[in-house]
Amino acid sequence: MKNYFVSSFFWSTLSKILNAIFGFITVPLLLGYFGKADYGLLSIATACNGCMHLMDLGMNTGAVRFFSSWEAEGKRELIQKVSNTNTTFYLIVSAVNIVGLLILAWFGENLFSIQHDQFPKLRTCFYILALFSSITWINSAYTQLLTAYKQIAFTMKVNCVLVLLRIALVVVVLIGKLSLIEYFFVLTALVAVAIIPNAIKCKCDGLLNTLKPAAFWKEFGIVLSFSLSIFALSLFQVLATQSRPIVLSLFAENGAESVADFRIVEVIPQFIIMVCGTLTSIFLPKSSEMVVKSNNAEIQNYVNIWTTRTTILVCFLCFPFIIAAKEVLIAYVGSEEAYLAKWLQLWCFFLIIQMHSTPAFSFILAKGKTRVLVIATAAASVVSILVNIFLCKSVPVGSAVIGYAVYMTCLIGVYYIYIYKYYINLNRMSVIKSFILPFIAALLATIIPLNFTFDDFAFFSLDRMNFISVFVFKSFMWIIPFIALLLLFRIVKLSELKEILK
């Protein structure tokens, strides 16, 4: 079991890091090669398709939960029936997905704020997504089954190989001078091809006797009813995140360029989110165990300790980009995009606000009480979208980031005002203190690096290397005082700090 956790964590983390590297490296390359307007078309197409993934209806969680339980009970025949019916379910979902994409392709020109001569390319992108839709959806059924049978490492290895192939594709694009449509076709095909190793693994390991779709709807209904109970929550979470580029494409004066700017700013926050994405899955098993024991003192202590540690970890990830946002963007995509620095800073700032709540949030999931959380998420989602729409003409990228900030502020407010007290019985001031002390230490540590400019660190002859050097030195000039303040005010002990860094 220990090897399972180590292997799963390693390959999952490696997959996320490779994806982040892929985005970090390829965005400026493809942006320069295709141009901001055409590159924005790809983002619009993938964002529209991403919203359609809401049709999963929570099965990605529900199927894994029931398959794992049934495997422990030895109900393999039931697993096979439901898994094959899951394939049929995803075929139906993919049909709806295809219809939605075709409607956008045929009648969607007036929906997006793009030039008339750009829409044929966007239409072709929708056709490509529709072509591979069924394969991509069916792969979800195989991935869920493999996850339930503790084969996460295998699925992550497949993802790692696909990321490397995507990187190779970008090289081919630049060398072979491929068109936008040719690149998008091969990219979409690479995503779909994951079904081959996953299906072979399910068949060879005896997880499935047949890959044929089935129709055991009575048995499948048990899983679907549970999945729908968490669907509403994921619905509004995805809506809040995936709607931002779509709102920009619909309401900004230049939709394609605004979306491209948003994607530039998004790369670093997405990397941080991916790195921190495993925290909930790490906390949840222990949280579930403690909920069963119902020891409130133990739960409070656990939340306090891990809120502090999580805050410190996220500060280490976010503050270097806050203090050197301008230098990072110039080194990344050029000086013409330096004006986006303030939005990168704001996004990273609110990422800290968001991520610090992860330990307490794991207890909300462990308790299984999500009614108030669903209502709060729905309200926050609607408000954030309205803010995005209202501001997108005056501050296009800023409206998306401000909308996100409003969304997170509303949710965190509900956590502290209601959920922590009445759902988990936490001492809210104790949790706030666990967050605010390391956060203030991180803010105080920014005083020194924020007073230094590019000229203080012009060590290299290459312009890009100069800006990278500024980022590195500013980061160290923040890290050293931050660690000193943590130790000086006994926010953490030296041994705890080593554990967090490890």
- pLDDT number for residue 429: 93
Per-residue pLDDT reduced to its tens digit, 435-455: 999 999 999 999 878 776 655
My answer on whether 291 and 329 are in the same domain is yes
My answer on whether 324 and 201 are in the same domain is no
My answer on whether 263 and 132 are in the same domain is no
Distance separating alpha carbons of residues 192 and 165, to the nearest angstrom: 13
Phi/psi-derived region of residue 425, left when phi > 0, alpha when psi is between -120 and 50, beta in every other case: left
161, 196, 231 - which closes a domain: 231
- pLDDT number for residue 159: 86
Domain count across the chain: 2
- pLDDT number for residue 7: 67
Instruction: Decide: 31 and 192 in contact? Cβ < 8 Å.
Output: no
180, 213, 231 - which closes a domain: 231
My answer on whether 66 and 179 are in the same domain is yes
Element (H, E) at 486: helix 463-488
- pLDDT number for residue 2: 47
231, 262, 290 - which closes a domain: 231
My answer on whether 167 and 277 are in the same domain is no
Angle at 325 between CA 324 and CA 328, to 5 degrees: 85
Distance separating alpha carbons of residues 455 and 466, to the nearest angstrom: 9
Distance separating alpha carbons of residues 160 and 166, to the nearest angstrom: 10
Q: What is the DSSP letter of 164?
A: H
My answer on whether 180 and 196 are in the same domain is yes
Closest CA to 407 of 446, 350, 459, 352: 350
Sign of the Cα torsion 379, 385, 389, 395 reads positive
Element (H, E) at 173: helix 152-176
My answer on whether 241 and 226 are in the same domain is no
My answer on whether 224 and 256 are in the same domain is no
Per-residue pLDDT reduced to its tens digit, 260-303: 888 888 888 887 887 776 666 666 656 766 776 778 889 999 89
My answer on whether 28 and 89 are in the same domain is yes
Per-residue pLDDT reduced to its tens digit, 232-244: 777 777 777 777 8
Blockwise average pLDDT, block size 10, the chain, 502 residues: 58 75 78 79 77 70 70 79 89 90 83 75 89 89 81 83 89 87 90 89 84 85 75 73 79 78 85 73 63 81 90 91 89 81 92 90 71 84 90 86 91 91 89 94 88 54 70 89 89 66 53
Closest CA to 243 of 50, 480, 483: 50
Chain position carrying tokens 């309401």: 251
Chain position carrying tokens 């997170």: 408
Closest CA to 261 of 272, 248, 273, 270: 248
- pLDDT number for residue 501: 52
DSSP labels for 43-85?
HHHHHHHHHHGGGGTTHHHHHHHHHHHHHHTT-HHHHHHHHHH
My answer on whether 250 and 185 are in the same domain is no
My answer on whether 368 and 464 are in the same domain is yes
My answer on whether 194 and 272 are in the same domain is no
Q: By residue range, what is the domain housing residue 374?
A: 234-501
